[in-house]
Structure 1
């Protein structure tokens, strides 16, 4: 398990939470499995206290369940749960994407720059870094809608679904197809074509549902 490097005491809580989140999102600890607190505590060189505090955060994000006498168990979703959440996310993001086409040019350029960097990460096969940047692109598009309520709902669901979305790129074919979806989104954003943007984002989520349910 990739947790061997001890971490600095500065921002300990945030770092431990980040490490645990990555272990779950990248399926090092799989859905339905118990989080091995003692093993992770030893590997990170920290006590169990920050581990347990981190697990409370991840429980609030919907990534783990805290069960009596069992500790923390990674949340598992039925195919229907996964499809339902992705469908709702698609509705939220396709709405936001249309609004994003009216944003300041500097904000659009920032997203397009991130997209180009994401393509480089794809060519280097750096999947975790690619995924992190991918999520920042999705978040930036929603932020460009300038709708606080939308951003709040999206943030809550996005955290809950990180492992689902990561699993959609589990094969080289699915990963390449996901990047092609993002190419269409970037093309529409560059043109400020709201209708094309809406269709590209909707198509991306429809494809994501297929990739997640049929990895």
Structure 2
């Protein structure tokens, strides 16, 4: 080395993980843990295993889900943004409590969005997409006949989302997706009513018939009414339930 060459000072730098295969693995692994926590908690809340008002104790949730506090806290922030969790300063988070005014506002908004989506979808969906809706409807009715509410519920949600996607309007779809978690939660609660479940099946048949006929005004009106009927059922069910103050106890 020349006597004029600058000397390197300090400890030699270790090769960073960023950009390496190991670094990519670590980033993917963290995302996976955080997404797993979001999805698991989302299912527990929507399915009612974590009731409205349930206190979400971090240590208990970490053990329940099998993640550390960091991905859990990230998951709780996302669920709070979706309206499913309430973050409280210097206190444990809790499952959000929806009052009747919030439910009415939510379903009024969804009703308008899905009315417009159905009107556009009636004009824009392809024959193949309509056929896919028919297949989903048939499968949904099999679950209805078998009293399998969980499977029915999943298809019910997928069918609503397929109609919105069929509108071919990215901004409409994005706006709908921001509200869908709270809507799923409320719709699941409403389907505890067998009477409403019966009505919902027939309403879906009528909506599908209007889409098949490319009758945009009728499809929009029927889907809007369907959404509002569910909202009214949720408000009625909520009025009959005592307030929840439970702690985390889901398995």
Q: TM-score range by the shorter chain?
A: 0.7 to 0.9
2:204 corresponds to 1:185: no
Instruction: Check 1:129–1:11 CA distance in 2 against 1; reply closer, same or farther (3 A cut).
Output: farther
Counterparts in 2 of 1:40-51, with a 5 A limit? 40-51=61-72
Cα deviation digits, residues 8-60 of structure 1 (max 9, x gap): 99933322211100111111112222123333322333333332222122112
Q: 2:103 aligned to 60, 82, 85, which one?
A: 82
Structure 1 position 109, deviation (Å): 1.4
Tell which structure's C-alpha radius of gyration is larger: 2
Tell me the equivalent position of 1:151: 173
Q: 1:54 aligned to 69, 75, 97, which one?
A: 75
Structure 1 position 184, deviation (Å): 1.2
Structure 1 position 158, deviation (Å): 1.4
Tell me the equivalent position of 2:9: none
2:191 corresponds to 1:169: yes
2:91 corresponds to 1:73: no
Tell me the equivalent position of 1:63: 84
Structure 1 position 128, deviation (Å): 2.4
Q: What's the TM-score, normalizing by structure 2?
A: 0.76
Q: What's the TM-score, normalizing by structure 1?
A: 0.88
Instruction: Check 1:151–1:126 CA distance in 2 against 1; reply closer, same or farther (3 A cut).
Output: same
2:43 corresponds to 1:22: yes
Instruction: Check 1:148–1:9 CA distance in 2 against 1; reply closer, same or farther (3 A cut).
Output: closer
Cα deviation digits, residues 136-193 of structure 1 (max 9, x gap): 1111111111111111111111123321121111122222222221121112122222
2: CA distance between counterparts of 1:149 and 1:23? 29
Structure 2: segments with no counterpart, 5+ residues: 1-28, 238-251
Tell me the equivalent position of 1:13: 34
Number of residues paired by the alignment? 208
Helix, strand or coil for the counterpart of 1:73?
strand
1: CA distance between counterparts of 2:71 and 2:127? 42
1: CA distance between counterparts of 2:217 and 2:181? 27
Structure 1 position 113, deviation (Å): 1.4
Helix, strand or coil for the counterpart of 2:221?
helix
Instruction: Check 1:51–1:10 CA distance in 2 against 1; reply closer, same or farther (3 A cut).
Output: closer
Structure 1: segments with no counterpart, 5+ residues: 1-7
Deviates more, 1:19-28 or 1:179-188: 179-188
2: CA distance between counterparts of 1:22 and 1:108? 29
Contact 2:54 2:94 in 1 (8 A): yes
